[in-house]
Amino acid sequence: MNIVVCIKQVPDTTEIKIDPVKNTLIRTGVPSIMNPFDKNALETGLQLKDQYGGKVTVISMGPPQAKAVLREALSMGADDAWLITDRAFGGSDTYATSYILSQAIGKLGPFDVILGGKQAIDGDTGQTAPSIAEHLDAVRLTYILDLQVDGDKVIARRQVEEGIEVIETVLPVLCTATKESNKPRYGTVKRKIASLKAEIPEITLADLVGADQSKMGLKGSPTKVKATFTPQRTASGVNIEGNNPGEMAGSLISKLADAKIL
């Protein structure tokens, strides 16, 4: 089975600081990590490989520093890693990023399973991975818990608000993983050492022959950021206490009624 996992390097904090002038993230002084949901996606890929055999490729779009997360993925068990990097890709929004990633995946593939995290903890859009499926015309399965593959047939369990949805479809699929999908493995000492010595090849604009450059970078991004800010926390939550669930539910209903929400 040929598997590709899209991973992103993100600042290790949920308290993102924003540059008030440029409206961009301030990354200096904040340690960078692999986006936690992408780590779940990688674990899903590695488990598929453990079960069905095959190869796990990881890709990341970003500046050269993003090689650190690709190396981490290698230390966990990925077979090869590619950095997608070019000045022309800078400033891409989720649409442009997903277009560039889909082009890179097309160049490296074909793949049976494309994986990504459900969202990145910095931008929190949750759009990039599903959009890749649109560009590649692959089946899109978000928030998956696990996958069972039998030939071309795939059975996926999806975590949805109402419960668990079981979907049967055919390869190729794009799936996004969540925290509930699995517990990512640690690297091994041997792989960690090898990963630090590994050459991480790059895919640049020149490698994406036939791609439409007008869909890339800041100019290719339909999203225009009007303002970015850290919201002020205006009111803290209320703890509802009681002796049993019924009592607590009653208390909640009366509070909601008082607030004219019900």
Least distance in Å: CB of 197 to other proteins? 9
The stretch among 5-13, 86-94, 179-187, 202-210 that binds other proteins (CB under 8 A) is: 179-187
C-alpha to C-alpha distance for 109 and 169, rounded to whole angstroms? 20
- Among 187, 218, 248, 251, indicate the residue that binds other proteins (CB under 8 A): 187
The stretch among 12-20, 180-188, 220-228, 240-248 that binds other proteins (CB under 8 A) is: 180-188
SS3 state at 195: helix
Q: What phi and psi, each to the nearest 5 degrees, are found at residue 169?
A: -150, -165
Least distance in Å: CB of 138 to other proteins? 32
Residues 6 or more apart whose CB falls under 8 angstroms from that of 126 comprise 118, 119, 142, 176
Residue (of 105, 109, 63, 67) closest to 86 by Cα position: 63
Residue count, binding to other proteins (CB under 8 A): 10
Nearer to other proteins, 38 or 112 (CB): 38
Residue (of 202, 211, 75, 204) closest to 136 by Cα position: 211
Cβ atoms of residues 83 and 200 within 8 Å: yes
Nearer to other proteins, 157 or 192 (CB): 192
Site for other proteins in 189-208 (CB under 8 A): 189-190, 192-193, 196
User: Cα angle at 19 between 16 and 22, to 5 degrees?
Assistant: 130
Site for other proteins in 63-102 (CB under 8 A): 75
Cβ atoms of residues 144 and 84 within 8 Å: no
Site for other proteins in 239-258 (CB under 8 A): none
Least distance in Å: CB of 182 to other proteins? 14
Cβ atoms of residues 116 and 38 within 8 Å: yes
Burial 62-101 (b: 16+ CB within 10 A, else e): beeebbbbbbbbbbbbbebbbbbbbebbeebbbbbbbbbb
* 12 near other proteins, judged by CB under 8 A: no
Taking residues 128 to 157 in sequence order and writing x for each that binds other proteins by CB under 8 A, - otherwise, the string is ------------------------------
Least distance in Å: CB of 188 to other proteins? 4
Residues 6 or more apart whose CB falls under 8 angstroms from that of 219 comprise none
The stretch among 5-13, 87-95, 163-171, 185-193 that binds other proteins (CB under 8 A) is: 185-193
Nearer to other proteins, 126 or 187 (CB): 187
Q: What phi and psi, each to the nearest 5 degrees, are found at residue 164?
A: -115, 130
The stretch among 83-91, 170-178, 182-190, 203-211 that binds other proteins (CB under 8 A) is: 182-190
- Among 186, 240, 247, 249, indicate the residue that binds other proteins (CB under 8 A): 186
Given the rule CB under 8 A, which residues bind other proteins?
75, 185-190, 192-193, 196
